[in-house]
Amino acid sequence: MRRKSCLPILIFFSLHGFYTNLQNRIGVYLWKQVNHKVLSPAHCEALRVIILQTPLNRVKGKTFMNYVSDLQRCPWKYDPAVHNLIKSQFTRCCNASHNMIATQQNIPFGKELKYEMSPRNLTIDKKIFQMLPKTSPFTTKPFDTCAVVGNGGILLNSLCGNEIDQMDYVFRLNLPPMSIADDIGTKSDFVSANPSILILRFQKLQETRRPFIELLKSYGSAMIVLPAFSYARNTDVSFRVLHSVQDFNLPNKVAFFHPQYLRNLSMHWNETGLNVKRLSSGLMLVSAAMELCKKVTLYGFWPFLEDPEGNPVPHHYYDNITPKPGFHSMPEEFFFYTKMHVKGALHLKVGQCSS
């Protein structure tokens, strides 16, 4: 019995040694060719075991980067049982279908609504109540295929645009410029909008609104979703987005995240081992997609400053402005994406989609 209980440990160390030796023999890979040379089944299995066995506090940036790079050269297979297990966990804690969007059903008229990140409350008066949709737009059957498109510089030259546009539903983060269709696609169904971007780039929509409106037009009829009730300072500028869309007769629906949904989601990830001041927009939408979609593929998620060859990678595909230190924890979030990829719950795409 003792010999049998040691068997998984022996297998792990033998696979780790196999992978290390093979990694030394293979040498440096050409980053853009990562997806074109499939690794052997034994190599891929060794890699998956290492990633699943490595705890978050033992992750080393450069080593983990190389693991993820090599992982793209291994066949990925969707595991609906694992996905459904993770989906059920999100549904129990948060229930994106009914609770992600603030509606007249889940925020009654006259309610004292508690902000997500501050102790202040907001009274839902008649004017605010009428801004909310009557019901959640996500209560129908789940989407078959979804793309969550991050804004990482790793998207440059990825040629993922056509693949993204083939998805049934496309989530995008934080009002990205739709500037490189070959790499990011053209389709948008859900676009989150961080109020800090409205403040910095569009002067809180208190001056000319034309540049903001032109940006919204690039998303077609996508739903625009804002955390209006995260901080009190976010509320007025978020409401101005709704008013601007109405004033310019745009086809977009404007909605607001429910603060209790975001609090519950944060608690869920905290219990999973991710301790951050606030979840990134990317993790919020990945979490929602795991509930709302049958198959989820991530693009443009890469938290490192360079690719596995050591070439610099800008923080975004459109600029190199990094987030405020200590606010989000992108590498730790990426660690969880990678583990879900290995388990077959979602597909993490890194590097080129096609040549």
pLDDT given for residue 60 in this prediction: 78
Report which DSSP code applies to 321.
P
Residue 229 is predicted with a pLDDT of 98
Kindly state the percentage of the chain with pLDDT values over 90.
73
Active-site annotation holder among 43, 258, 328, 341: 328
Strands 223-226 and 190-192: parallel
Tell me the C-alpha distance between 204 and 209, whole Å: 9
Integer CA distances (angstroms), 166 to 72, 148, 161, 170, 354, in order? 20, 13, 9, 9, 14
Return d(Cα 72, Cα 93) in angstroms, integer.
31
The pLDDT tens digits of the residues spanning 227-262 come to 999 999 999 999 999 999 999 999 999 999 999 999
Tokens of 82: 């694992």
Sheet of 347-348, strands arranged across: 254-256, 223-226, 190-192, 169-172, 143-149, 293-299, 347-348
Q: Which of 271, 262, 283 is nearest to 329 (CA)?
A: 283
Q: Going by CATH, does the domain composed of 80-348 fall within 3.90.1480.20?
A: yes
pLDDT per position as a tens digit, 276-331: 888 999 999 999 999 999 999 999 999 988 887 788 999 999 998 877 665 557 88
Q: How do the domains of the chain map onto residue ranges? A: 2-71, 80-348
Q: Which residues contact 32 (CB under 8 A, 6 or more apart)?
A: 157, 351, 352
Reduced to 3 states (helix: H, G, I; strand: E, B; else coil), residue 206 is: coil
Query: Which residues have CB under 8 Å from 290's CB, separation 6+?
Result: 83, 86, 87, 90, 296, 345, 346
pTM for this predicted structure: 0.89
Catalytic, 328? Answer yes
* Mean pLDDT over the full length of the chain: 88
Quick one: residue 146, left, alpha or beta (phi over 0 = left, psi -120 to 50 = alpha)?
beta
Which segments of the chain are extended strands (E)?
112-114, 121-123, 143-149, 169-172, 190-192, 223-226, 254-256, 293-299, 347-348
In this prediction, residue 101 has a pLDDT band, given cuts at 50, 70 and 90, of: very high
Q: Which amino acid is residue 159, in one-letter code?
A: L
Half-sphere exposure (Cβ direction) of 338: Cα atoms closer than 13 Å: 29
pLDDT digits (tens, 9 = 90+) for 12-67: 444 444 334 433 333 333 344 444 588 999 999 999 999 999 887 787 778 888 88
Q: Which of 171, 132, 115 is nearest to 287 (CA)?
A: 171
